[in-house]
Amino acid sequence: MTGKIKALFCLGLLFVLADLFLCYRYASWGSGPSELVPFIAFTIIAEALILFSICRLDNIINPFTIYSIFIYIAGFSFIFLSDKQQAFSPLFIVLVTLSILSFIAGGLAALRTYKFSFENIIPSFSKELSFMFLLLVFIISIGVFFLEISQLGYIPLLNLANAGIYDDLTQNEVTPLHNFIVLNSVLPAMFYITYKRGLIPFYLFLLLTFGSVFIIVNFFSRQIIVLFFFSMLLAVAYYRNISFTKLFGIGFTCIILFIVLGEIRSSTSEEVSSTSINAFLKEYAEIKKPTNIIETYMSLYGGVNFSTGNKITELATHDGYLSYGAYTFRPVFSVLPIETSNIYPLQYSSYSNLGTYVTDPYLDFRWPGVILLNLLYGFLAMNSFKNYNEKKSPYYIVEWSLFMFCIFMCSFTNFFHLFFIVFFFIINRLAIK
């Protein structure tokens, strides 16, 4: 038995033991077969997908392992921990299941086909011009940062004692130029590529990275921080091997940072000053079970989000609402001088209400959209990963990190069709492709 097979066997055994423990734990809280059966079914699918993908792709970071997080959370959402959760309709259960199967089918299809790459419409920049372009984009982002900070009236990172920082940030009026600020989440990875190409010294890479990190941290957006970690992790892993221990450490750091940023955001309210972040979140999510902080987060950002997705799909079906591709083509509508609130009614918006990514394809094209768009997500994500894994070009560092981010955020909303993702793709193609 090879070392790899032994490791996968041990991982599978660990999965089984964890599943048994969790089933016993949730059963002791009063969860019956109607909750435990779908929970364990989705969990087994997620774990089998992890084992298969690691064995098949020889890389722990791949589309299937990242997507297995969504599958697991989908199963976990059947465990009723929060009073904000509701029972899923048969329609929504089929919607989630069909989305998962279609995504997996798309990924498997990509594994069996030749990898491909779209050619640039315009000629590629030279390496020197590429760096100058990135520097220009960075300077623009600094200008936009100072513009928004001047509107806010202070630098958030230097005013953590201010009880209303996060409220001020969410209420601060921003323009589409804010995308240049968010772009700083992937600029360090692009600067790292520039450094590895020998165009800039290491100290300049560190200086530019510090500037980008300072900008994005000031907005306390966990999504932006996650994208920064993903892009930098993939950039470093592209040029050097990273051990499993280090990968585990990085993943653990991401989880801690996610919780810490959430505590900083929550602690801007005086209500949380006398209680732990877990107790505060349990109260906010209306959780009465003795959950740990991971289970609390998964219920708040998993079970509650899936319940929201269930409400949206049920309401849209009842009202006969069909958006005819409006959500798929959101990046186009985002840059047009039109009032988007008329195109995206709030009651159907998974983006505003956090209804998971599965609702948008259903709202756009019903079942054909669910199948075809998920096939496309899985196919393109796996194709990007294959190009990255075979080191075809540093361009795929950012491209694969964007797909990785969108897949990771599937339990929140559909990031595949947001304008800033398309904007990042364009910048990446211009600068690195």
pLDDT of 395 > 50? The answer is: yes
The mean pLDDT value for 389-411 works out to: 94
pLDDT of 378 > 90? The answer is: yes
Higher per-residue pLDDT: 122 or 351: 351
Most confident of 243-247, 329-333, 375-379: 375-379
Asked if 70 contacts 411 with a C-beta cutoff of 8 angstroms, the reply is yes
What global pTM score does this model have? 0.91
Task: State the Cα–Cα distance between residues 24 and 274, nearest whole angstrom.
Answer: 33
Domain boundaries of the chain, sorted by first residue: 1-433
Q: Long-range CB contacts (< 8 A, 24+ apart) of 123-131? A: 124/433, 125/430, 125/431, 127/194, 127/197, 127/199, 128/199, 130/194, 130/431, 130/432, 131/194, 131/199, 131/200
pLDDT of 209 > 90? The answer is: yes
Exposed / middle / buried, residue 328 (Cβ in 10 Å: 0-12, 13-18, 19+): buried
- Listed in sequence order, the residues at least 6 apart from 288 whose beta carbon sits closer than 8 Å to its beta carbon are 83, 282
H or E stretch covering 37: helix 33-57
357: nearest Cα among 373, 381, 334, 335:
373
Compute the half-sphere exposure of residue 327: CA atoms within 13 Å on the CB side of its CA: 28
Exposed / middle / buried, residue 376 (Cβ in 10 Å: 0-12, 13-18, 19+): middle
The mean pLDDT value for 219-245 works out to: 86
Band (pLDDT 50/70/90 cuts) for residue 170 is low
Strand partners, 287: 82
pLDDT tens by residue, 323-363: 999 999 998 888 787 777 778 888 998 888 889 999 999 99
pLDDT of 176 > 50? The answer is: yes
What local confidence, expressed as pLDDT, does residue 164 receive?
A: 62
| Tokens of residue 416, six digits | 């595949």
- Listed in sequence order, the residues at least 6 apart from 415 whose beta carbon sits closer than 8 Å to its beta carbon are 357, 405, 406, 409, 421
Read off the amino acid at residue 413. T
Ramachandran class of 82: left when φ > 0, alpha when ψ lies in -120 to 50, beta otherwise: beta
Poorest-confidence range of 60-74, 327-341, 357-371? Answer: 327-341
Sign of torsion over alpha carbons 380, 383, 388, 392? negative
What local confidence, expressed as pLDDT, does residue 117 receive?
A: 72
| Tokens of residue 188, six digits | 């360090």
Asked if 205 contacts 195 with a C-beta cutoff of 8 angstroms, the reply is yes
What local confidence, expressed as pLDDT, does residue 264 receive?
A: 56
pLDDT of 267 > 60? The answer is: no
Task: State the Cα–Cα distance between residues 181 and 144, nearest whole angstrom.
Answer: 7
Task: State the Cα–Cα distance between residues 135 and 127, nearest whole angstrom.
Answer: 12
The mean pLDDT value for 6-11 works out to: 84
pLDDT of 167 > 80? The answer is: no
Q: How many CB atoms lie within 10 A of CB 380?
A: 18
Higher per-residue pLDDT: 340 or 100: 100
What local confidence, expressed as pLDDT, does residue 268 receive?
A: 46
Read off the amino acid at residue 147. L
The mean pLDDT value for 7-33 works out to: 91
